[in-house]
Amino acid sequence: MLIVTFEALLAGFGLFFYYVAFDYHMNESINYRMVFYIFDILTLAELVMVFLVVPVFTAGAISMERERQTLDVLISTGVSPFKLIVEKLLSTVALVAIMGYASLPILAIVYSVGGVGIDQIIGVVLLMIAAAILFGSIGIFFSTICNTTMVAIVSTYVTMILIFLTTLIVGNINAIAESFRNRYGIAGTLFSIMTYAPKGAGAYLLLLNPIYIVVKFFGGDTAKEMFKEIRDAGGMFSNIEEHWVLISGSLLMLISFILLVISAKKIRK
């Protein structure tokens, strides 16, 4: 039911923007820029869906077993806690993979008019799976340490939003401080201190922000703008910017793995 609803929504988005792009008079010109936007919007829609759905499934993975009083029996079977945790995560990741696979025909709307390669189409599905692993790991972590499912779900969402916002703000503190000073003429000590942070240093924090991977994946003007400071810092930061998806993706997967190990350790309270 979830997959059907998801695909129906996605198809609705896709067909709407397809209609707008191609205009209903088939003999008129095609707005190719709009076609590319369709791909970006559909990908974003899928990632938002993953963001909304995955925590609900994973944040209840362990806490619901505890609430249902089935966890003790599971543990007593001698199964390794890590295997138990990973099985819980994989069941949700599999669902996301199916959703991604089922969305391929819809993404193919854009592929059919060119401009988006098959590697990008596959990249979307991989991005969804990686996002599911990251969000799922956070969900499972809170599911293990929280006493109730509701608290685990809320904690997961709050943590993810905090990660997005905190890394975004602190990682771009230079630019934000400059903007405030230029716009409002604020010359307080705090802002002065902020602008003394080494250029590009925010990259270290931004590597932890999944949004930047998505933006890098899309490329385009938005990506150029968002990565400008890092690129301009030169040296090592240029290398980081060039291999952003690989470095940030690896870092986030490592964090996911660490969270899963901690969850496995904490599963027996």
Partner 1 sequence: MLTVENLNYSYGSHKVLKDLCMHVEKGQLYGLVGRNGAGKTTTMKILSGIIDADSGRVTLNGVDFPRRTHLRDIFVGHSEYKKIGYMPDNFGVYNNLSALEYLDFYAEEYGLTGKKKEKRIAEILEMMNISELSEKLVSGMSRGMKQKLGLARTMINDPDLLILDEPSSGVEPEGQVSLRDMLIGLCSEGKTIIISSHVLSELTRLCTNVGMLEGGRLTFEGSVAEVLEKSRLNNLVRVAFVDGFEDGMKIIHDSPLVSKISFDNNEIYFEFKGERKEEAELLKRLISAGTTVSFFGREGGSLESLFKSVI
Alpha carbon distance 249, 244 (integer Å): 8
* CB-nearer residue toward partner 1: 75 or 201: 75
Alpha carbon distance 27, 12 (integer Å): 23
* CB-nearer residue toward partner 1: 124 or 260: 260
CB of 90 to partner 1, least distance (A): 14
As a three-state string, the secondary structure of 201-258 is: CHHHHHCCCHHHHHHHHHCHHHHHHHCHHHHHHCCHHHHHHHCHHHHHHHHHHHHHHH
- CA torsion 55-58-61-62 (nearest 10°) is -80
Alpha carbon distance 213, 219 (integer Å): 10
* CB-nearer residue toward partner 1: 25 or 269: 269
CB of 144 to partner 1, least distance (A): 12
CB of 84 to partner 1, least distance (A): 9
What are the residues binding partner 1 (CB under 8 A)? 68-70, 72-83, 261, 264-265, 268-269
CB of 64 to partner 1, least distance (A): 10
* CB-nearer residue toward partner 1: 148 or 238: 148
